[in-house]
Structure 1
Amino acid sequence: MARCASFATFIACLFLTSLLLGVVVLFPVMIALFASPSSPSFAVNLFHNQTLNMTTNLTIHFDLKLKNENKAIGLHYPDQINITFSYFPNVSSLVILADYKLDSFYQGNGKTKHVRDVVEAVGFPRVLEGTDMMVFRVDLMGSFRYKKVGTKRHKVELGCLVAVDSITNNKMQRGFIRMVKPGLDSKLKRKPTPHYGGGVGRRL
């Protein structure tokens, strides 16, 4: 009986020791995850599964990917996310083709959200002056907040460029393009979209 009691005590001590070691190892990791959370990442596949037709007003298919990079913290997107589709007629200006708005939502730990939709462009994109390419730009503006007590909104302003061969109508980059902080081209003067019933998101 004494031997059984000693064995039970040994097992209990082993369990408590393992539990303590687990806490010691995991506690700093959890602190790091909560103390230094990552910003979400955004990427877009412009003209997603689309055969381009450049002879008429352009219909833009897109797949926007939003990823919560945090395994331990959820994200709130409290405001509408605004997405603008533009193109470069030359190196000194941008022309807006369409706008799209994504309503506020919550994103769980480590989750990825895809937004696949269509917008009708206002007007017709032209070839970038001096090249045989049409160069499109996608801009995203919004905000997010970590699911933690007392956290504030963090603004997001990102963009990317997508080039299309004007002869073959094929994209020159395949798949998703990561959206990054805009460079000097974001400072270019934009020509506004004419106000006549187009350029807004159309749900599929």
Structure 2
Amino acid sequence: MCISSDCCRWCIGFQFTLGLTALFMWLSLRPSKPTLSIEKFYVPALNKTAISNLSAVIPPVNTTVTFDLKLRNENKDKGVYYDDLNITLYYGPNHSVVGHMTLPSFYQGHKKTAHRNDGLRAEGRAFWENATRTVSEQNSTVFRVGLWTAVRYKIVGVKTKRHRFRLVADMKLNEEGAWPGKKGVKFHSRAAAQAGYRARLGVPLAMLVLLVVW
């Protein structure tokens, strides 16, 4: 009876240890999402301090919107493969599309930071009329930047499946047509699908651990 009881305790302890080992292995292999932010954002045609009459020429001669996109991979031992980064510029309460561009795909090593300094053309006469009027009257205006891409993680030399991102960041510009903050604006999720990524992984893992333990 004693031997049987000791054996039972040993089996339970072994199974519990095995379950914890599986959990810790999953936590160590689980990648962290890259951090994306807009560090700089500038619309020369909305620089009220440099242009005395913003609405004198509609649309303006220079319709370029420049930005600095920062991408940070916080993983210590996992690389990130980015698909093409599709960037869309929105304006107004209805978030009307006023510009779009695509940045090429690339690979980012672990604990690396990348910057993409680029610009796109903002189109639409109605948009420029509204934007110049808003800055002239309120000394500020707001743009929304949308970013759509997918990433694959490189874990122990193996690529994972694609994980899709639909992100947005709101940029409030001053009378100089620029984002005045010293720190960048982080993108946040546009859909609940990305937030459910860890949940989808966590549920089957929890079931696995329970099965191993019991």
| TM-score tier (shorter) | 0.5 to 0.7
Instruction: Give the TM-score, by structure 2 length.
Output: 0.59
One-letter identity of the residue aligned with 1:53: A
Q: CA deviation at 1:155?
A: 0.4
Identify unmatched segments of 5+ residues in structure 2. 1-20, 47-53, 55-59, 192-214
Aligned partner of 1:159 in structure 2 is: 168
Residue 64 in structure 1 maps to residue 69 in structure 2: yes
Aligned partner of 2:31 in structure 1 is: 37
Of all paired residues, the percent bearing the same amino acid is 33
Q: Would the aligned equivalents of 1:83 and 1:138 in 2 still touch at CA under 8 Å?
A: yes
- Structure with more helix by fraction: 2
Tell me the distance in 1 between the aligned counterparts of 2:176 and 2:160: 49
Tell me the distance in 2 between the aligned counterparts of 1:94 and 1:51: 17
Tell me the distance in 2 between the aligned counterparts of 1:66 and 1:156: 13
Aligned partner of 2:119 in structure 1 is: 118
Identify unmatched segments of 5+ residues in structure 1. 1-26, 184-204
- Counterparts of residues 177-188 of structure 1 (less than 5 Å): 177-182=185-190
The equivalent position to 2:85 in structure 1, one of 78, 81, 85, is 81
Residue 146 in structure 1 maps to residue 153 in structure 2: yes
One-letter identity of the residue aligned with 1:82: N
One-letter identity of the residue aligned with 2:109: G
Q: CA deviation at 1:45?
A: 2.5
Per-residue CA deviations over 1:155-181 (Å, capped at 9, x if unaligned) read: 01111111124x554535444111111
List 4+ stretches of structure 1 deviating above 6 A.
none
How many aligned residue pairs are there?
Answer: 148
- Counterparts of residues 162-173 of structure 1 (less than 5 Å): 162-165=171-174, 167=175, 169=177, 171=179, 173=181
Q: Would the aligned equivalents of 2:86 and 2:101 in 1 still touch at CA under 8 Å?
A: yes
Instruction: Give the TM-score, by structure 1 length.
Output: 0.62
Per-residue CA deviations over 1:117-148 (Å, capped at 9, x if unaligned) read: 121211325256xx823210001000001113
Q: CA deviation at 1:46?
A: 3.8
C-alpha RMSD of the superposition = 2.9
Tell me the distance in 2 between the aligned counterparts of 1:74 and 1:151: 11
